[in-house]
């Protein structure tokens, strides 16, 4: 009898813990819940809709209020809804919703997963930077010094007004021997500039330019552009027609470029996902996407939500890309280091 008691009670005379693991009890509860598949239908529909907005973004027409481009501008932010839907699905104990949430999660990671990882490298032989300095900037000289402090060899500035151009010229003169201002855009360089000219982007005034930079690794065509602004209006939707027209004109100019290496620095008022910029993005690639860390959002500076400021390259290898600290502008400056194709390094 004593031996039998020991077998049942275990050592120490204590009863064994017969409680089931918490996860197992949860599974048993769910198995016995016949409504687990019927609950959360609305959540499941929302999850599928978000997945469709991402995977079929190029199919959303621009005929009504440029809704397609508007969706593409903030496309990564659709991922914010995924953890929200997941939490609600768990709260509702809905197997249907939980399975449906997997769909937008898979789509989001297929589109943007690569941006989550750090792809920055080392090396390179030329650093470029670009910044929309904001025409209403109260501290242009401080902004110029901040951009120059990045160590960039080539700097592009947009939204320059006639009254502040001398301020930027004076502030940047010590670091950059060569520069040119065309209309409201300008280019400063440590290396000689040649073949400088305005680029017609169908606006009636100059907001784009092109120059050849003779760098140690070879000649590089540098384009600076500030495409027209876009607005979201209740009565008109996403007003981007003029921007789209200018983007096509800029794409044509870049397509006609004879130098094998080229860089585009500018505020394009559009993201790499926006089909309206296809004339540009089809022939150039983003330094942030190729060699950055994260999304590199640049606007608005106080709470960046979209990367509308771009450094795009063709015939050039991006090494690293980053955003610079906030200045007096409503945009963040951005920079990238690249390796020129014919350096032999």
**226, 248 Cβ separation under 8 angstroms:** no
Residue 5's pLDDT is 47
* Percent of the chain residues topping a pLDDT of 90: 79
Residue 153's pLDDT is 98
Residue 344's pLDDT is 43
Higher pLDDT, 345 or 242: 242
How far, in Å, CA of 127 to CA of 176, rounded?
Answer: 13
List the beta bridge partners of residue 225. 208, 266
Residue 125 pLDDT exceeds 80: yes
List the beta bridge partners of residue 154. 128, 189
Q: Using one digit for the tens of pLDDT, what is the confidence trace for 56-76?
A: 999 999 887 788 999 999 999
Residue 8's pLDDT is 46
How far, in Å, CA of 311 to CA of 287, rounded?
Answer: 6
Residue 341's pLDDT is 73
Q: Using one digit for the tens of pLDDT, what is the confidence trace for 131-181?
A: 999 999 999 999 999 999 999 999 999 999 999 999 999 999 999 999 999
Closest C-alpha among 254, 215, 222, 210 to residue 340:
215
What's the whole-model pTM score?
0.86
Q: Domains of the chain by range and CATH?
A: 11-116 (no CATH), 126-340 (3.60.10.10)
What's the average model confidence in pLDDT over 310-328? 97
List the beta bridge partners of residue 311. 265
**309, 156 Cβ separation under 8 angstroms:** no
**45, 104 Cβ separation under 8 angstroms:** no
**278, 237 Cβ separation under 8 angstroms:** no
Residue 36's pLDDT is 83
List the beta bridge partners of residue 212. 194, 221
Residue 237's pLDDT is 63
- CA angle in degrees (0–180, nearest 5) for 268-155-116: 55
DSSP string, 193-218: EEEEEE---SSSS--EEEEEEEETTE
pLDDT bucket at 30, cuts 50 / 70 / 90: low
Q: Using one digit for the tens of pLDDT, what is the confidence trace for 41-58?
A: 999 999 999 999 999 999
Residue 240's pLDDT is 84
Residue 13 pLDDT exceeds 60: no
Q: Using one digit for the tens of pLDDT, what is the confidence trace for 200-230?
A: 999 999 999 999 999 999 999 999 999 999 8
Residue 64's pLDDT is 79
Residue 26 pLDDT exceeds 60: no
Exposure b/e, 307-326, CB count within 10 A at least 16 = b = bbbbbbbbbbbbbbbbbbeb
Burial of 59 (C-beta count, 10 Å sphere; 0-12/13-18/19+):
exposed
Bridging pattern class, strands 154-158 and 126-132: parallel
How far, in Å, CA of 226 to CA of 119, rounded?
Answer: 27
Residue 173's pLDDT is 96
Residue 35's pLDDT is 79
* Residue 38 CA: distances (Å) to CA of 94, 99, 132: 7, 13, 52
**Which tokens go with 51?**
């997945």
Exposure b/e, 261-292, CB count within 10 A at least 16 = b = bbbbbbbbbbbbbbbbbebbbeebbbbbbbbb
What is the sign, positive or negative, of the torsion defined by CA atoms of 66, 67, 72, 76? positive
Residue 7's pLDDT is 46
């Amino acid at each position: 009898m004593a031996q039998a008691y020991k077998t049942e009670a275990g050592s120490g005379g204590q009863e064994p813990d017969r409680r089931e693991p918490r996860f197992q009890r949860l599974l048993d509860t769910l198995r016995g819940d016949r409504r687990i598949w019927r609950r959360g239908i609305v959540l499941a529909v929302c999850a599928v809709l978000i997945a469709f907005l991402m995977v079929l973004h190029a199919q959303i027409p621009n005929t009504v209020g440029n809704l397609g481009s508007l969706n593409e501008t903030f496309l990564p932010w659709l991922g914010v809804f995924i953890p929200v839907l997941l939490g609600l699905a768990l709260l509702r104990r809905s197997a249907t919703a939980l399975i449906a949430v997997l769909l937008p999660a898979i789509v989001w990671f297929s589109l943007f997963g690569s941006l989550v990882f750090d792809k920055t490298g080392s090396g390179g032989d030329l650093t470029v930077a670009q910044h929309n300095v904001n025409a209403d900037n109260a501290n242009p000289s401080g902004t110029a010094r901040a951009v120059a402090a990045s160590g960039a060899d080539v700097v592009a500035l947009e939204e320059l007004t006639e009254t502040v151009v001398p301020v930027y010229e004076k502030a940047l003169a010590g670091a950059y021997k060569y520069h040119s201002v065309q209309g409201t855009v300008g280019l400063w360089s440590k290396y000689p500039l040649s073949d400088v000219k305005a680029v017609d982007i169908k606006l009636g005034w100059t907001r784009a330019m092109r120059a050849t930079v003779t760098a140690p690794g070879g000649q590089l065509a540098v384009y600076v552009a500030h495409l027209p602004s876009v607005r979201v209006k209740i009565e008109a939707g996403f007003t981007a027609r003029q921007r789209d027209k200018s983007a096509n004109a800029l794409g044509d100019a870049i397509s006609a470029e004879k130098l094998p290496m080229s860089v585009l620095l500018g505020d394009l008022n559009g993201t790499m996902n926006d089909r309206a910029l296809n004339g540009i993005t089809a022939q150039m690639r983003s330094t942030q996407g190729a060699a950055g860390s994260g999304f590199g959002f640049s606007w608005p500076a106080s709470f960046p939500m979209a990367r509308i400021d771009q450094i795009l390259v063709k015939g050039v290898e991006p090494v690293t890309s980053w955003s610079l600290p906030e200045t007096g502008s409503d945009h963040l400056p951005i920079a990238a280091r690249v390796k020129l194709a014919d350096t032999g390094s």
